[in-house]
Amino acid sequence: MKQLVRSLVVVVALMIPLTVFAAEDQFFTKLDADKNNSVSKDELLKADLHLVTTPKGQNQVVHRDMLKAGTAAAMTEEQKKRLFDQLDTDKSGHVSKKEWSRASRDGLILLKF
């Protein structure tokens, strides 16, 4: 019985990151309008993004379709530009999945400004 419980705990622990990656990938896919596996500044500026304040007081960026209960406000163009500049670490003019993954936590991008 103890072995079964341990196995279940391990399985559940392994599934949590999969859920996080799925949400992160879904968000990236929503932004990647031309489906070229990168997000341009234009794609990010056209996206319907909202800034959500979590119960812990953190700011998170979510797509309008992903809004849940909480305090939310539509992001301004200036906020989106600053977000893009933070995400595009190699300054290529596009955010790759690798850059996106580095900047996201818990499947959502956390603003640092």
- Taking the chain (113 residues) in runs of 10, the rounded mean pLDDT of each run is 51 38 70 94 93 79 74 87 92 92 66 51
For the chain, the domains span 2-110
Tell me, letter by letter, the H, E, C secondary structure of the chain: CHHHHHHHHHHHHHHHHHHHHHHHHHHHHHHCCCCCCEEEHHHHHHCCEEEEECCCCCEEEEEHHHCCCCEEEECCHHHHHHHHHHHCCCCCCEEEHHHHHHHEECCEEECCC
Domain 2-110 grouped into CATH 1.10.238.10: yes
Other CB atoms within 10 Å distance of the CB of residue 38: 20
Tell me, what's the pLDDT at 113?
A: 43
Tell me, what's the pLDDT at 14?
A: 39
